[in-house]
Amino acid sequence: MGGVPLGNEFSIVTDEDANAILEAAWSAGIRYYDVSPWYGLGLAERRFGYFLHNKKRSDYIISSKVGKLLKASKTAHNRDLFPFSPSPNDVVFDYTGPGVRRSIEDSLQRLGIDSLDIAFVHDLSPDNKLLPTPWEEQFKIAMRGAFPELTRMREEGIIKGWGLGVNRPEPILQVIELADPDVFLLASQYSLIDHKNALNNVFPAVRQKNVSFVIGSSLNAGFISGSPRYNYGKDSYEIPPAYIEKRKRLRDIAANHGVDLRTAALQFSAAPDVAAALVVGVSREHQILEDYTSMQTKIPAEFWTDLKSQNLIEQNAPTPV
């Protein structure tokens, strides 16, 4: 379960509703949770922590992010970044060794737990327009600081593994040659709408290093299931016409086979052999139950055959059995 919506990224979710969503997820058997200081500038971590801190730590897996430190301020510009979050925090990008250690310590305090399973270096990527200097310069800082420090923290037992959580392939392809990551959060790169580059370039390179992926944004921030936005950011409502047309064609074929397109999208993103987990955000209690049901639903093989015959998915794309 992803933490973006519980950070009030898209709309206001009350504390009561957030707790009900987490309760529903736990009752459904969901045991992997992905959060970040960035999501609501601390709000999501506090909410997940409120729910999880009394659970047995060995009963669930949790990942968070590093690279963005939070600092409370009476003049914080938080509303510019998260207009629906009540957070008093500003964000400071910090990919140094001390910075990522501080970030993890802060996250553990907000979560009320003593260790993370996975730490993802967050948004160290060409698409991040908020970085203080070009991403290549920030990557060099991480090479000297964040990456070796995370390896040390893994050896200390504070985390079990680390990697990158990014929306673009370039940093992933670089870091697998220069450091020793364990897993990546592949966001906005492998969905029914857009998967060619990840399938043919990123997956083969990472497979050789025996590294796996957590797949995020399989619905492209809800676009596949009907949202008027595509992925994230202030420009998310400027959707390429080709994507809108592709969604329409996908819907038509899904209807012909009696398939729920959202269900097909989730299962498609979970199908590759390098996919260790699927992270899906929810903002309503019923959505997490629908997600769980979707992953148990059988989709006819003919549906996937039709998608390939009409070149809507790559011919070599793995599909659910």
pLDDT digits (tens, 9 = 90+) for 71-108: 999 888 888 899 999 999 999 999 999 999 999 999 99
pLDDT on residue 168? 96
Report percent pLDDT > 90 for the chain.
93
Domain residue spans in the chain?
8-19+30-154, 188-321
- The answer to whether residue 233 scores a pLDDT higher than 90 is no
| Structure confidence at residue 167 as a pLDDT band (50, 70, 90) | very high
- The answer to whether residue 218 scores a pLDDT higher than 90 is yes
The model's pLDDT over 108-162, given as tens digits with 9 standing for 90+, comes to 999 999 999 999 999 999 999 999 999 999 999 999 999 999 999 999 999 999 9
pLDDT on residue 76? 85
pLDDT on residue 232? 84
- The answer to whether residue 277 scores a pLDDT higher than 90 is yes
| Structure confidence at residue 234 as a pLDDT band (50, 70, 90) | confident
Map the chain to HEC letters. CECCHHHCCCCCCCHHHHHHHHHHHHHCCCCEEECCCCCCCCHHHHHHHHHHCCCCHHHCEEEEEECEEEEECCCCCHHHHCCCCCCCEEEEECCCHHHHHHHHHHHHHHHCCCCCCEEEEECCCCCCCCCCCCHHHHHHHHHHCHHHHHHHHHHHCCCCEEEEEECCCHHHHHHHHHCCCCEEEEECCCCCCCCHHHHHHHHHHHHCCCCEEEEECCCCCCCCCCCCCCCCCCCCCCCCHHHHHHHHHHHHHHHHCCCCHHHHHHHHHHCCCCEEEEECECCCHHHHHHHHHHHHCCCCHHHHHHHHHCCCCCCCCCCCC
The model's pLDDT over 115-126, given as tens digits with 9 standing for 90+, comes to 999 999 999 999
One fold for 8-19+30-154 and 188-321: yes
pLDDT on residue 321? 85
Q: pTM value?
A: 0.95
Tell me which residues are annotated as active site.
34, 39, 65
Mean pLDDT of the chain: 96
Query: Is it true that domain 8-19+30-154 has CATH number 3.20.20.100?
Result: yes
pLDDT on residue 136? 97
pLDDT on residue 312? 98
CATH placement of domain 188-321: 3.20.20.100
